[in-house]
Amino acid sequence: MSNRLDNLKKEGILGAFITPGDIDIEKTEEYILSMIEGGADFIEIGIPFSDPIAEDSTIQEFYIKALENKVNTDTIFDCVKRLRKDTEVPVVIITNANPVFSYGIDRFFENCRLSGVDAIIMPDVPYEEVEEFKGEADKNGVYIIMAVAPTDEDRIEKIVKDAKGFLYATALAENTVEDMEKLISTVKAKKDIPVVTKDESFKCDGLILSNEIVKLIDRGMETKAISHFVKSYK
Amino acid sequence: MKKGRFGIHGGQYVPEILMKAVNELEEAYNKYKDDPQFNRELKELLDNYAGRPSLLYYAEKMTKDLGGAKIYLKREDLNHTGSHKLNNVLGQVLLAKKMGKTRVIAETGAGQHGVATATAAALMDMECEIFMGKIDCERQALNVYRMQLLGAKVHAVESGTQVLKDAVNETMREWTNRISDTHYVLGSVMGPHPFPTIVRDFQSVISREARSQILEKEGRLPSAVLACVGGGSNAMGMFYNFIGDESVRLIGCEAAGRGIDTKEHAATISKGKLGIFHGMKSYFCQNEYGQIDEVYSISAGLDYPGIGPEHANLYDSKRAEYVPVTDTEAVDAFEYLSRTEGIIPAIESSHAVAHAIKLAPTMSKDDIIIICLSGRGDKDVAAIARYRGVNLYE
């Protein structure tokens, strides 16, 4: 089974995050297309969750707004399905474990495949707990993107071994640039897989624009300007 | 069984960046839990600071009034700081100290766990920051000031629904900022492994004492033990050493708020579904898309949409029963115990008292019930007055 992330470039990757927040789903699609026009190499769409502990309170506010506007897991799948008529850019879903689990793990990953979702990031599912999601993900050709952090080498090695698509480098506020450099070189010594991050201060293979974009959209920035904004990171 | 699992429940559903912290904690706990020196120090704190063992009090007037089972109260309300919370906190802060941490953070609902944490931090010279939902800060203003008096910094959490679950969210977020010098003193038998086990072990002193006290007083085991359940720490402490005694019914009393047929309740076992949240697999009040429900209870301490994983497993295996108790029943019980025994219980504990009032008359005089009186009710007096429409003047 092929996956659109297999064709992701090896460096200079730009990802762009969006969650509907206050805007409706049609407008969300327009923004996604403008982000692609601006050069986004993959799109990360947040399925809103009421209590995203791995995200900051800015993202939580957007999630809560989206939930108030009746956005749900099915709305997001439908959105991706429509997008697939216009684009083959990889789509990565980000959400917590519970929206996936409560939807039914089998049904969730089947709908990922049917709508054209390529991968999923579940920030509250570490290596220890990923097994219960893996079977259905594999069956449907959907990658589970794993996070890595500056921990011990054995741990990083285990995570890297099974990693597909790309790896998400995360850090504690107290981690230094040196910690991250060491993390990335540890990963690279094990496997040639792109490492992306949300933090511009870490040098790796790719950057995901997240809070920046949702804040600009919230302030009313139009699609064209979002496209330019994304382009400015190329 | 997989690590940190209770049947299918439990686990470690936390961001990768916290795995180092939970693994480090597990390692330290395994090192110290059977360490004689650690246990000597903890016992010293429990006996000479917290005031343990707590009394097992025969509620004779209540027993006679209800005319059924003999009722005993396990008086955790007499613990220093006024609730069972200190049992766990002394253990965890001592452990944090051994781990070389200099700062503790904690969530709190009613403020009892926050006060206990601020107390232990003051005693053991730790920096302390407490996260409390903005709404809870308002309903338990006295406890906020109490924590500040003890030297803690209190953050009013304004994200989400501004109650206990949001306080947990913010404390977890804060932990991802600093793990090297900071320990998260989780207040209930919940969260990622190893917390449910650590908190249960530190709270199991309640049933260890209660079991030997009742054998000494009555020469036999109780027919039932009752405790209120939010996350479930006092209940887990009260149940733990009775789990092997099959004749002892274990009854957890959940907050049914305005009734389990309304949307305003926090009755996780009665109304929740299996899910994954706050680091664990367990039962949660949630909608069809797995969004966590806004729950409600008059009691800030029970106002939580989940339940600890070991309780979820005790429910699955039918070893324990969980019953809903409404606000009205809890407030009636609050007043009943105050008038009948001269003991003002916490509104949380009043949920267990309320169920005992229903249960005792259906049992025989040979039966014994032990209620875990998890906390004292001073903190609730103003709220109960408001509930009854009484104006209090400063």
| 3-state secondary structure (DSSP) of residue B322 | strand
Q: What one-letter code names the amino acid at B261?
A: D
Residue B190 corresponds to which tokens in the numbers above?
Answer: 């919940």
Instruction: Spell out the domains of chain B, with CATH numbers in brackets.
Output: 5-46+84-199 (3.40.50.1100), 51-82+204-387 (3.40.50.1100)
Chain A residues close to B19, C-beta within 8 Å: 126-128, 149, 151, 155
Is B17 in Cβ contact with A53 (below 8 Å)?
no
What digits encode the pLDDT tens for the residues B72-100?
999 999 999 999 999 999 999 999 999 99
Chain A residues close to B15, C-beta within 8 Å: 53-54, 123-124, 126, 147, 170
Is A67 in Cβ contact with B15 (below 8 Å)?
no
Is the CB of residue A221 less than 8 Å away from at least one CB of chain B? no
Please say if the pLDDT value at position B2 is more than 80: no
pLDDT for the residue B373: 98
| 3-state secondary structure (DSSP) of residue B191 | coil
Q: Report d(CA A7, CA A176) in Å as an integer.
A: 31
Is the CB of residue A104 less than 8 Å away from at least one CB of chain B? no
Residues of B catalogued as catalytic: 85, 107, 374
| 3-state secondary structure (DSSP) of residue A172 | coil
Nearest to A57 among B11, B159, B279 (CB): B159
Is the CB of residue A103 less than 8 Å away from at least one CB of chain B? yes
Is B14 in Cβ contact with A124 (below 8 Å)?
yes
The arithmetic mean of pLDDT across residues B374-394, rounded, is 89
Bridge partners for B157 per DSSP: B133
The helix or strand, by DSSP H or E, that contains position B309, with its residue range, turns out to be helix B309-316
Is the CB of residue A233 less than 8 Å away from at least one CB of chain B? no
What digits encode the pLDDT tens for the residues A3-62?
999 999 999 999 999 999 889 999 999 999 999 999 999 999 999 999 998 888 889 999
pLDDT for the residue B1: 53
> Residues with Cβ < 8 Å from B203, sequence gap 6 or more?
B84, B87, B88, B189, B233, B234, B236, B237, B240
Closest CA to A69 of A115, A32, A103, A27: A27
Chain A residues close to B276, C-beta within 8 Å: 96-98, 101, 124
What digits encode the pLDDT tens for the residues B126-146?
999 999 999 999 888 889 999
- Report whether CATH 3.20.20.70 matches the domain A4-145+205-227: yes
Chain A residues close to B273, C-beta within 8 Å: 102
